[in-house]
Structure 1
Amino acid sequence: MENNPPSPATSESSTATRVFGTRISDRDLTEIELHSVESINDLHRTHPEPNHKVRQGSALQSLSEAVRTGEQAVALRISELIQELKILRNNLTAITEGSRSGQ
Protein backbone atom coordinates (compact mmCIF):
# COMPACT_ATOMS: atom_id res chain seq x y z
CA MET A 1 0.00 0.00 0.00
CA GLU A 2 1.41 3.39 -0.94
CA ASN A 3 1.91 6.18 1.55
CA ASN A 4 1.62 9.31 -0.53
CA PRO A 5 2.00 12.65 1.23
CA PRO A 6 -1.05 14.89 0.96
CA SER A 7 -1.05 17.11 -2.07
CA PRO A 8 -0.84 20.87 -1.56
CA ALA A 9 -4.51 21.18 -2.46
CA THR A 10 -5.57 19.00 0.47
CA SER A 11 -2.93 20.00 3.00
CA GLU A 12 -5.01 23.03 3.96
CA SER A 13 -7.40 20.80 5.89
CA SER A 14 -6.44 18.67 8.84
CA THR A 15 -8.55 15.79 7.60
CA ALA A 16 -9.43 14.54 4.15
CA THR A 17 -11.58 11.82 2.70
CA ARG A 18 -10.33 9.51 -0.01
CA VAL A 19 -12.91 9.17 -2.82
CA PHE A 20 -12.01 6.99 -5.81
CA GLY A 21 -8.34 7.42 -4.96
CA THR A 22 -8.58 11.21 -4.76
CA ARG A 23 -8.34 13.13 -1.53
CA ILE A 24 -11.16 15.56 -0.85
CA SER A 25 -10.83 17.93 2.06
CA ASP A 26 -13.56 18.31 4.66
CA ARG A 27 -14.01 21.89 3.49
CA ASP A 28 -14.59 20.73 -0.08
CA LEU A 29 -17.07 18.09 1.12
CA THR A 30 -18.96 20.76 3.04
CA GLU A 31 -19.08 22.93 -0.09
CA ILE A 32 -20.42 20.01 -2.11
CA GLU A 33 -23.10 19.30 0.50
CA LEU A 34 -24.16 22.96 0.61
CA HIS A 35 -24.42 23.15 -3.18
CA SER A 36 -26.44 19.92 -3.20
CA VAL A 37 -28.88 21.29 -0.63
CA GLU A 38 -29.18 24.55 -2.57
CA SER A 39 -29.85 22.64 -5.78
CA ILE A 40 -32.54 20.55 -4.13
CA ASN A 41 -34.14 23.66 -2.65
CA ASP A 42 -34.06 25.36 -6.06
CA LEU A 43 -35.70 22.32 -7.60
CA HIS A 44 -38.48 22.39 -5.00
CA ARG A 45 -38.99 26.11 -5.54
CA THR A 46 -39.23 25.80 -9.32
CA HIS A 47 -41.37 22.64 -9.28
CA PRO A 48 -43.76 22.92 -6.34
CA GLU A 49 -45.84 19.86 -5.65
CA PRO A 50 -48.72 20.77 -3.34
CA ASN A 51 -50.15 17.26 -3.34
CA HIS A 52 -46.88 15.44 -2.74
CA LYS A 53 -48.09 14.19 0.67
CA VAL A 54 -51.64 12.85 -0.95
CA ARG A 55 -49.49 11.05 -3.76
CA GLN A 56 -46.99 9.71 -1.18
CA GLY A 57 -49.87 8.31 0.87
CA SER A 58 -51.45 6.76 -2.18
CA ALA A 59 -48.14 5.33 -3.35
CA LEU A 60 -47.47 3.92 0.10
CA GLN A 61 -50.92 2.35 0.19
CA SER A 62 -50.41 0.83 -3.27
CA LEU A 63 -47.00 -0.48 -2.28
CA SER A 64 -48.39 -2.01 0.91
CA GLU A 65 -51.14 -3.71 -1.07
CA ALA A 66 -48.61 -5.05 -3.58
CA VAL A 67 -46.48 -6.45 -0.75
CA ARG A 68 -49.53 -8.07 0.84
CA THR A 69 -50.57 -9.58 -2.49
CA GLY A 70 -47.02 -10.79 -3.09
CA GLU A 71 -46.86 -12.35 0.36
CA GLN A 72 -50.14 -14.17 -0.25
CA ALA A 73 -48.92 -15.44 -3.61
CA VAL A 74 -45.67 -16.67 -2.05
CA ALA A 75 -47.55 -18.40 0.78
CA LEU A 76 -49.83 -20.11 -1.75
CA ARG A 77 -46.87 -21.26 -3.86
CA ILE A 78 -45.07 -22.61 -0.79
CA SER A 79 -48.19 -24.53 0.16
CA GLU A 80 -48.37 -26.01 -3.37
CA LEU A 81 -44.70 -26.99 -3.24
CA ILE A 82 -45.18 -28.68 0.13
CA GLN A 83 -48.04 -30.72 -1.31
CA GLU A 84 -45.89 -31.71 -4.31
CA LEU A 85 -43.05 -32.75 -2.00
CA LYS A 86 -45.42 -34.91 0.04
CA ILE A 87 -46.62 -36.65 -3.12
CA LEU A 88 -43.05 -37.17 -4.32
CA ARG A 89 -42.02 -38.55 -0.91
CA ASN A 90 -44.96 -40.98 -0.95
CA ASN A 91 -44.08 -42.08 -4.48
CA LEU A 92 -40.42 -42.52 -3.59
CA THR A 93 -41.34 -44.51 -0.49
CA ALA A 94 -43.63 -46.75 -2.55
CA ILE A 95 -40.93 -47.28 -5.20
CA THR A 96 -38.27 -48.02 -2.57
CA GLU A 97 -40.48 -50.47 -0.68
CA GLY A 98 -41.57 -52.11 -3.97
CA SER A 99 -37.98 -52.69 -5.03
CA ARG A 100 -37.13 -54.20 -1.62
CA SER A 101 -40.01 -56.62 -1.69
CA GLY A 102 -39.14 -57.67 -5.26
CA GLN A 103 -35.62 -58.75 -4.32
Structure 2
Amino acid sequence: MAHALIEVERKFIPGPGTEKRLQELGGTLEHQVTFWDRYYDTPELSLMRADYWLRQREGSGWELKCPGTAGVSGPHQEYVELTVEPAIVAQLCEVCPYRRQHLPS
Protein backbone atom coordinates (compact mmCIF):
# COMPACT_ATOMS: atom_id res chain seq x y z
CA MET A 1 0.00 0.00 0.00
CA ALA A 2 1.37 3.43 -0.95
CA HIS A 3 1.76 6.00 1.77
CA ALA A 4 0.57 9.57 1.29
CA LEU A 5 1.74 12.65 3.10
CA ILE A 6 -1.02 14.26 5.11
CA GLU A 7 -0.58 17.81 6.35
CA VAL A 8 -2.63 18.78 9.37
CA GLU A 9 -2.93 22.48 10.00
CA ARG A 10 -4.68 23.93 12.99
CA LYS A 11 -4.94 27.60 13.76
CA PHE A 12 -5.65 28.89 17.23
CA ILE A 13 -5.15 31.95 19.37
CA PRO A 14 -3.17 31.14 22.51
CA GLY A 15 -4.61 32.49 25.72
CA PRO A 16 -2.85 34.63 28.28
CA GLY A 17 -0.09 32.75 30.05
CA THR A 18 0.42 30.21 27.26
CA GLU A 19 3.99 31.29 26.51
CA LYS A 20 4.94 31.18 30.19
CA ARG A 21 3.39 27.72 30.62
CA LEU A 22 5.26 26.40 27.57
CA GLN A 23 8.52 27.70 29.01
CA GLU A 24 7.73 26.01 32.34
CA LEU A 25 7.31 22.75 30.42
CA GLY A 26 10.73 23.22 28.80
CA GLY A 27 9.58 24.70 25.52
CA THR A 28 11.76 27.21 23.70
CA LEU A 29 11.37 29.28 20.56
CA GLU A 30 13.83 27.66 18.15
CA HIS A 31 13.17 29.98 15.23
CA GLN A 32 10.45 32.16 13.75
CA VAL A 33 9.29 32.06 10.13
CA THR A 34 7.41 34.81 8.33
CA PHE A 35 5.68 34.05 5.02
CA TRP A 36 4.92 36.68 2.40
CA ASP A 37 2.17 35.43 0.11
CA ARG A 38 0.33 37.11 -2.74
CA TYR A 39 -3.11 35.72 -3.47
CA TYR A 40 -4.75 35.98 -6.90
CA ASP A 41 -8.35 35.71 -8.05
CA THR A 42 -10.67 36.91 -10.81
CA PRO A 43 -12.47 40.26 -10.45
CA GLU A 44 -15.63 38.24 -9.67
CA LEU A 45 -13.78 36.22 -6.96
CA SER A 46 -14.49 33.00 -8.86
CA LEU A 47 -11.69 31.08 -7.17
CA MET A 48 -12.66 32.06 -3.63
CA ARG A 49 -16.32 31.24 -4.26
CA ALA A 50 -15.27 27.76 -5.44
CA ASP A 51 -12.92 27.36 -2.42
CA TYR A 52 -9.74 27.56 -4.51
CA TRP A 53 -6.72 29.56 -3.33
CA LEU A 54 -4.02 30.61 -5.80
CA ARG A 55 -0.94 32.09 -4.23
CA GLN A 56 2.63 32.99 -4.98
CA ARG A 57 4.85 32.56 -1.95
CA GLU A 58 7.99 34.66 -1.90
CA GLY A 59 10.90 32.39 -2.75
CA SER A 60 8.77 29.26 -3.26
CA GLY A 61 6.81 29.70 -6.47
CA TRP A 62 3.13 29.09 -7.18
CA GLU A 63 0.64 26.96 -5.27
CA LEU A 64 -3.05 26.23 -5.84
CA LYS A 65 -5.09 24.81 -2.97
CA CYS A 66 -8.14 22.93 -4.27
CA PRO A 67 -11.04 21.36 -2.37
CA GLY A 68 -10.17 17.79 -1.42
CA THR A 69 -12.16 14.60 -1.22
CA ALA A 70 -15.89 14.98 -0.74
CA GLY A 71 -17.27 13.64 2.49
CA VAL A 72 -15.03 15.46 4.93
CA SER A 73 -17.40 16.60 7.65
CA GLY A 74 -17.33 18.75 10.74
CA PRO A 75 -14.94 21.63 11.28
CA HIS A 76 -12.30 19.99 9.06
CA GLN A 77 -11.33 21.00 5.55
CA GLU A 78 -9.27 18.91 3.18
CA TYR A 79 -7.31 20.45 0.31
CA VAL A 80 -5.16 19.18 -2.52
CA GLU A 81 -2.09 21.37 -3.00
CA LEU A 82 -0.78 21.72 -6.55
CA THR A 83 2.72 23.12 -7.03
CA VAL A 84 3.54 22.11 -10.62
CA GLU A 85 2.64 24.87 -13.08
CA PRO A 86 0.99 22.70 -15.80
CA ALA A 87 -1.26 21.07 -13.17
CA ILE A 88 -2.14 24.49 -11.73
CA VAL A 89 -3.03 25.88 -15.17
CA ALA A 90 -5.12 22.80 -16.03
CA GLN A 91 -7.08 23.08 -12.77
CA LEU A 92 -7.62 26.82 -13.23
CA CYS A 93 -9.02 26.13 -16.72
CA GLU A 94 -11.52 23.74 -15.11
CA VAL A 95 -12.58 26.25 -12.45
CA CYS A 96 -12.74 29.27 -14.79
CA PRO A 97 -13.47 27.72 -18.23
CA TYR A 98 -15.03 30.89 -19.67
CA ARG A 99 -11.73 32.74 -19.20
CA ARG A 100 -9.91 30.26 -21.44
CA GLN A 101 -11.56 31.61 -24.57
CA HIS A 102 -10.24 35.10 -23.78
CA LEU A 103 -6.58 34.06 -23.56
CA PRO A 104 -4.31 35.41 -26.32
CA SER A 105 -3.38 32.89 -29.01
Task: Return the TM-score normalized by structure 1.
Answer: 0.17
Higher relative contact order (CA 8 A, sep 6+): 2
Q: Which structure has greater helix proportion?
A: 1
More strand by share: 2
Larger radius of gyration: 1
